[in-house]
């Protein structure tokens, strides 16, 4: 999905394609994913920020940027970036986003948008005031079979939805020796597993159903001691029971210590006429259950609904995956930046704020022995 925009050139009287200039703040795994998606969308990755002055060249090399900068202020003053991708550790999101918006840039910020509700609220408000396009990569929305599920639920094919279940399971922190900056609450924030991956599940559920989590009861647990210790360790796993605004009952299990599970985000919506199940580790298929038999729908752009077929970039039988979703998300964000359209389902800072509010409710409930907590609207 290459994104270009025709601009008028006064000198020649011709219209020429405009190429967006992109800067990436943070050059770890996610920074590299963002930079790759930017290039695939036809943008120029012109700048990267390092954590130290000595690392500027290494930062540029890591993501293939034209130039590295020692700090964000210098980048914003010199690079003339149209869009700034914020991929830093969580506690630095608010500061980086504030600076980018103040400089007039559009922003893509990794989730969580901020580590607390107050900062997330301020960032969402700042994006609205400045009129900048500001998005959060809830990229699982961009699987074609997720869009197919959403379309079928929107037309009432499930009948009355009574329950929803699922979870997001990983194993990359399952051993006591496993360590990462996300484990440190001073860097990753007060929630780890839920803020990192539980937020994806909740966003996906609310996106496909159009329903919202209203009240919840949560339990969290820190399973493994870590190489470093903190007074308040972040959670390895969480179990959340919830009710929605329409009365649907739900449960979600989130874990980063589930051996053998790499990135299993799975969601099942149970209805009186049909039930649907999606598994991110098997994204080419959507399970459809019914009283008279079940079927498995394959990702085939020839038979998908229009809203799903738009994201089927390869012919049936050629698997699409995570990077394809990320590319689609970035492409849609750039289209909005260029004023071409506001693509349906584009996750904005309002969605990022929503995720932070749900995470805050989970932590509040867990700290009160699973007491029921209402999620702030």
Task: Assess contact for 356 and 114: CB atoms under 8 A.
Answer: yes
| CATH 3.30.43.10 for domain 5-139 | no
Greatest Cα pair distance, the chain, in angstroms, is 69
Compute CA distances 343 → 98, 138, 166, 225, 348, whole Å.
24, 14, 27, 44, 11
Three-class HEC string of 273-316: CCEEEEECCCCCEEEEECCCCCEEEECCCCCCCHHHHCCCCCCC
Domain residue ranges in the chain:
5-139, 142-315+348-374
pLDDT digits (tens, 9 = 90+) for 93-144: 999 999 999 999 999 999 999 999 999 999 999 999 999 999 999 999 999 9
- Who contacts 105 (Cβ-Cβ below 8 Å, separation ≥6)? 23, 76, 81, 82, 83, 84, 132
Rounded average pLDDT over 263-280: 98
Q: Is 219 left (phi over 0), alpha (psi -120 to 50) or beta?
A: beta
- How far apart (Å, rounded) are the C-alpha atoms in residues 377 and 359? 13
- How far apart (Å, rounded) are the C-alpha atoms in residues 85 and 106? 9
Residue 172 has pLDDT above 60, yes or no: yes
- How far apart (Å, rounded) are the C-alpha atoms in residues 256 and 197? 9
Residue recorded with tokens 């980086």 = 96
Question: What pTM did the predictor assign?
Answer: 0.94
For residue 54, the model assigns a pLDDT of 77
For residue 317, the model assigns a pLDDT of 94
Compute CA distances 70 → 24, 74, 89, 181, whole Å.
13, 7, 17, 21
Residue 15 has pLDDT above 60, yes or no: no
Residue 280 has pLDDT above 60, yes or no: yes
Helical (H) or strand (E) element with 24: strand 21-25
What are the tokens at 229?
A: 């210790």
Confidence of residue 25 (pLDDT cuts 50, 70, 90): very high
Confidence of residue 9 (pLDDT cuts 50, 70, 90): very low
3-state secondary structure of 217: strand
| CATH 3.30.1490.100 for domain 142-315+348-374 | no
Rounded average pLDDT over 17-26: 92
Please, what is the average pLDDT of the chain?
94
pLDDT digits (tens, 9 = 90+) for 341-361: 889 999 999 999 999 999 999
What percentage of the chain reaches a pLDDT higher than 90? 89
Residue 8 has pLDDT above 80, yes or no: no
Residues, the chain, total? 377
Phi, psi at 165, each rounded to 5° = -145, 165
For residue 55, the model assigns a pLDDT of 82
For residue 12, the model assigns a pLDDT of 46
């Amino acid at each position: 999905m290459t994104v270009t925009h025709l601009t008028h050139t006064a000198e020649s009287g011709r219209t020429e394609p405009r190429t967006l200039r992109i800067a990436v703040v943070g050059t770890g795994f996610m920074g590299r994913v963002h930079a790759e998606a930017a290039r695939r969308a036809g943008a120029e990755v012109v700048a990267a920020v390092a954590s130290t002055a000595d690392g500027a060249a290494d930062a540029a090399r890591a993501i293939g940027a034209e130039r590295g900068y020692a700090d964000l202020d210098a980048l914003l003053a010199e690079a003339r970036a149209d869009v700034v991708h914020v991929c830093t550790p969580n506690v630095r999101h608010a500061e980086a986003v504030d600076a980018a918006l103040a400089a007039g840039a559009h922003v893509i910020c990794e989730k969580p948008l901020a580590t607390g509700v107050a900062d997330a609220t301020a960032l969402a408000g700042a994006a609205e005031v400045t009129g900048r396009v500001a998005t959060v990569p809830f990229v699982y929305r961009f699987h074609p079979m997720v869009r197919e599920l959403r379309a079928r639920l929107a037309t009432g094919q499930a009948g009355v939805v009574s329950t929803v279940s699922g979870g997001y399971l990983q194993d990359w922190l399952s051993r006591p020796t496993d360590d990462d900056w996300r484990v440190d609450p001073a860097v990753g924030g007060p929630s780890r597993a839920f803020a990192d991956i539980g937020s994806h599940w909740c966003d996906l559920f609310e996106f496909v159903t159009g329903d919202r989590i209203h009240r919840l009861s949560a339990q969290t647990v820190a399973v493994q001691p870590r190489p470093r210790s903190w007074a308040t360790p972040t959670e390895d796993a969480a179990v959340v029971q919830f009710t929605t605004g329409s009365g649907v009952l739900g449960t979600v299990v989130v874990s980063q210590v589930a051996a053998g599970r790499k990135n299993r985000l799975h969601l099942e919506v149970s209805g009186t006429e049909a039930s649907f199940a999606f598994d991110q580790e098997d994204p080419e298929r959507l399970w459809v259950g019914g009283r008279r038999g079940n079927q498995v729908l394959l990702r085939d752009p020839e038979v998908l609904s229009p809203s799903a077929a738009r994201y089927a970039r390869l012919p049936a039988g050629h698997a699409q995956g995570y990077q394809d979703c990320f590319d689609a998300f970035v492409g849609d964000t750039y289209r909005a930046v260029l004023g071409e359209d506001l693509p349906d389902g584009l996750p904005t800072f309002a969605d990022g704020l929503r995720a932070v509010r749900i995470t805050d409710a989970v932590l509040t409930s867990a700290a009160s022995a699973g007491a029921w907590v209402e999620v702030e609207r």
